[in-house]
Structure 1
Amino acid sequence: MNQPLARILVIDDEPQIHRFLGPALEAAGYHHRRADNGTQGLREIAQWSPDVVILDLGLPDMDGKDVLARARAFYEGPILILSARDKEGEKIEAFESGANDYVEKPFGIGELLARIKVALRPRTVAQPAVTKVRFGDVEVDLDMRYVSRNGEPVHLPPKEYALLTRLISGHGKVLTHKELLVAVWGVAHTEDTQYLRVAIGQLRQKLEMDPASPSHIVTEPGIGYRLKREG
């Protein structure tokens, strides 16, 4: 079986960086996405769960170190800083905030690809990508963005579908209220837990055998939710 393509998210506001880096990443066999500012980048990290994040420090809406700090509240994957800031203090602060590597601009594509490969090395034993997920009488086809229950299609609006797929990506682990809110509604809504409660309730109505006593979308009181795929 072919290994799934590693997903690389590039957060940088310079169009020329994306024009240069995008084709190089594709040619190296990676799947990539771009984000042009910190807000968009945080949303992509939460929703797409990239294997590696390449982050510029000089972003138009917030400092890259703030993006780094916020990302580390919910993302454990490698983050490579790509920046024209070459002062030792900047590098130290970035590493202390959770960066895994630091590449100065201008950079050589060969060096950057080598650093990406190193960042991915501990993750090469990851399980193959799953395209279909079942729990109870529900099936989710992640490639087709199709949800069914007992063979019948289930309509989920974009927010509900995004919430479901984020729960699926947790592989049974508890996802905090904040993590789910960032993933689905964005960083401006980390305190809007009522949005999350309503969406969880709607998912349970559509997917649970007994919404009042859910067996799959489980509440962890005061923390968040997790998806139990057993049974």
Structure 2
Amino acid sequence: MNEKLLTGKVTLVTGASSGIGAAAARVFAREGAVVVLAARREERLAALVEELRDAGADASYVVADVIRTGDARRAVEFAVERHGRLDAAFNNAGIGGDRTPLHLMDDDVYDGIMDTNVRGVWNCLRHEIAAMLAAGGGSIVNNSSVGGLVAIPAAAPYVAAKHAVVGLTRAAADEYAQQGIRVNAVAPGTTRSEITADWFGRNPGLEDMVNAMTPQGRTAAPEEIAEAAAWLLSDRSPFLTGVVMPVDGGFVNQ
């Protein structure tokens, strides 16, 4: 039997109540991780933790909004106090946004996207890295997007935010490489989730357009993104840091 990817690794997942985050919780737990889940929606977190425990996983949760640095710190402290260390983290929490031309975009939309998608990752990185330095190392994966690698029409704040996640990933990877901490990112293409279902529902024809732009001709299942993150977090990728891995059906390869 093949050894599991994340056996015994204490792993924090943010934005874990739905979508890619919930899929990551299931995949990481299946791969042997001790999972600590963080998100804003306690009812969903509690249900997911119960599901994982029923399947034999060591799982727990903390309610946290990563926009608030105190919440990000508390999530990391919860993991360390409960398990003695933090080995891995998947900074997944993020939001999308409506497709709106840049000159018509409201300030509050820009602020909301930048706060969640950039400040949230920044807050988590600061506290995760501190914990990993104390433990002698670790591995972090940030969730960017193909929007962090190429332009997406009528989504300027989202594109800017996801490019910033790429920048944070590369900067942190360079700064902590010799201290035993690897920092990488996944860049998902369009992925099936509540957010994309709502997005497609409000924009008839958009799903077909997106699929037509993707060489594989489909959207991703959230588990496919989680599988890539699990491998990057694992000891199977020891010489990778600062990598931004597209998981996009070939979208950015065109």
TM range (shorter): 0.3 to 0.5
Q: Which has the higher helix share?
A: 2
Q: Larger C-alpha radius of gyration, 1 or 2?
A: 1
Give the structure-1-normalised TM-score: 0.41
User: What is the TM-score of this pair, normalised by structure 2?
Assistant: 0.37
